[in-house]
Amino acid sequence: MAKKGLLARKVAGAVDANQQFKEVEPEKQLPKEKASFKNQKATIKVSDDIKRDLDVIKSIHKIKFDYEAIQFLIDSYSNSLSPEDQRRFTVLRENL
């Protein structure tokens, strides 16, 4: 036995059979920008050996994320440069 009122229910947004269809122009909408995070702008692929070395560096320095370990390595590298190479590194980083 059917439940009472199943056939008489109305669906929200349903068009009546006697009502004419009118095409409405969609409003111009700007494309939504995706939320971007600084640590998720690019993906890099590395070999298993490099990944293993990166994991060792993360465990030695108690670093949780790969991008933090890579930043640690970049900072270590840039601090060991000569003053002339540090200027060159800074100029190239700002212009790329």
**What tens digit of pLDDT does each residue of 38-67 get?**
656 778 899 999 999 999 999 999 999 998
Spell out the domain ranges in the chain.
46-95
- What distance, in Å, lies between the first and last C-alpha atoms of the chain? 72
**What are φ and ψ of residue 45, in 5° steps?**
-110, 130
Query: Three-class SS of residue 12?
Result: coil
Q: Whose structure tokens read 């560096």?
A: 57
This prediction's pTM: 0.54
Q: Which residues of 46-85 are buried (b: 16+ CB within 10 A; e: fewer)?
A: eeeeeeeebeeebeeeebeebeebbeeeeeeeeeeeeeee
